[in-house]
Amino acid sequence: MSMDLLITTLAILAFFESQLAYAYDLHPLQDICVAVKDPNTSVFMNGKFCKDPNLAKVDDFFASGLNISGNAVPKFGIFAKLLDVNTIPGLNTLGISIARGDFEPK
């Protein structure tokens, strides 16, 4: 009897664990809204003007220098490099930013 209960419990758990949430945006324009400073573009979203998706380049989603450590502030011993939509225009409407923190050894 306990083996049947175990198998039933495992089957129910496997069923509920396999029910993943799949969420996506119904308007894919928001996922590729590369920010530009040109007000002549037709789409204004998330506080930035958007580049035509057909004109998006790889460089719109890239920033160099994140692999290089910064100069830590002497009093605090830390340095933070923040990358946001102003540094990487492709992050517009994605809701993410990137940060690197360097801590000086004691």
As a whole number, mean pLDDT of residues 20-36 equals 66
As a whole number, mean pLDDT of residues 87-96 equals 85
Q: Are 6 and 14 in contact (CB under 8 A)?
A: no
Residue showing tokens 């664990």: 17
pLDDT above 70 as % of the chain: 84
**What domains are there in the chain, each with its CATH number?**
27-103 (2.60.120.10)
pLDDT at 27: 58
Beta strands in the chain, from DSSP E residues, in sequence order: 35-36, 44-45, 48-50, 78-83, 98-103
As a whole number, mean pLDDT of residues 50-65 equals 87
| pLDDT greater at residue 6 or residue 29 | 6
